[in-house]
Amino acid sequence: MNFELSEEQRAIQDMARAFAEEHFLPNASEWDQKEIFPASELRLAAELGLAGIYTSEDVGGAGLGRLEAAIIFEELSAACPSTAAYLSIHNMVAWMIDTFANDQLRRRFLPDIAKMSKMTSYCLTEPGSGSDAVSLTTQARKEGNSHFILNGSKSFISGGSTSDVYAVMCRTGESGANGISCLLVEAGTEGLSFGAKEKKMGWNTQHTAAVHFDNCLVPIDNLVGNEGDGFKIAMAGLDGGRVNIAACSIGGARKALELAKSYSKERKQFGKQLADFQSIQFKLADMATELDASRLMLHRAASSIDEGAPDAIMHCAMAKKWATEACSKICNDALQIHGGYGYLKDFGIEKIVRDLRVHEILEGTNEIMQLIIARRILN
């Protein structure tokens, strides 16, 4: 087992870090406070291949692996976890289309998605079905041989009202997982509407809203894979999404640890630096250890996907659960080290705390990660 990055991976890491420090970091606080969706900066990221990291090169993607993606998302999220997380979702949708759609659909959508001239959203969660995704009720009924008629609602959709393509999991058959399909719904479709922009604790650089379908006429040609493949597609997308979200937690926590270390060397209390107090030293040591353990689990999970390992699903669930929880604690501890200053927006810590908290909920709650792990070890 090699714990060192290759020369190519280090070059990718350096590129992502330089881009994030130039384009994300100086703007992240303003984007957060004014709830700005940074579309132009995201399109600059797309010019570097970051909107189709593990999408095939023949449709404009970078053709990299999941480990390279994890490296990239750690660097981007060290500058702005919220913006990096939206890019993660966009990459997930691109991969789903690339992997499961027919060639005609791939070539129709993916070049624009890879350039982010078309933004994407992943639509699985519904008001009445969160963790219990199999019970979703959004329905697509065939109208002749050319269209589906789509009715229902999706909730908590990142990019809701701002995206151009919505990957919608909907029921085309009987109850249960085998009756779910995946349709691509394009912005401007008649009957497509959106709820008000949600006011959230964090993730303010990406707009979240409910998405409603009222007799939307969707071409049958927009079906990804076959009818009944939707749940399989959704879950496969989430495996990679969990790795990406773990990476976003690690990047945010790494930045929080860096800020805490710097502050502990600058701030003096009782006549000496905070860093000279053993209680602070031990806290920083635990934070660094938890961060390193999170990254090791993340890289194993990403490599498991790349290698098609039998335990890849479990490794992804483990990495997502461990990293999101450990990194939230790291950020909270970093805020504690800052004392009252950590509670102020000027110091940057509180934004990271807010952005990372939702990572324990999305891409499958961490309680669902426990179920996935338990089922695997008891199988």
**Two structure tokens written together for 378:** 């008891």
Does residue 363 have an active-site annotation? yes
- Short-list 141, 288, 113, 287, CA closest to 227: 141
The one catalytic residue among 35, 360, 363, 367: 363
Residues in the chain: 379
Look at phi and psi of residue 203 and say left if phi exceeds 0, alpha if psi is from -120 to 50, else beta: left
Which token pair is 147?
């269209």
Which 8-state DSSP code applies to residue 16? H
Q: How far apart are CA 7 and CA 10, in angstroms?
A: 5
From the list 338, 364, 363, 365, the residue with the least C-alpha distance to 349 is: 338
Q: What is the 3-state secondary structure (H, E, C) of 201-261?
A: CCCCCCCEEEEEEEEEEEEHHHEECCCCCHHHHHHHHHHHHHHHHHHHHHHHHHHHHHHHH
Q: Where are the alpha helices (DSSP H) in the chain?
A: 7-19, 28-34, 39-47, 66-79, 81-100, 103-115, 230-266, 278-307, 312-338, 349-357, 366-378
The pair of three-digit structure tokens given for residue 261, joined into one six-digit string = 């270390």
Q: How far apart are CA 185 and CA 180, in angstroms?
A: 15
Q: Closest by alpha carbon to 74, among 328, 206, 272, 249?
A: 249
| Residues in Cβ contact with 84 at an 8 Å cutoff, skipping those fewer than 6 apart | 20, 24, 73, 76, 77, 248, 251
The set of catalytic residues is 363
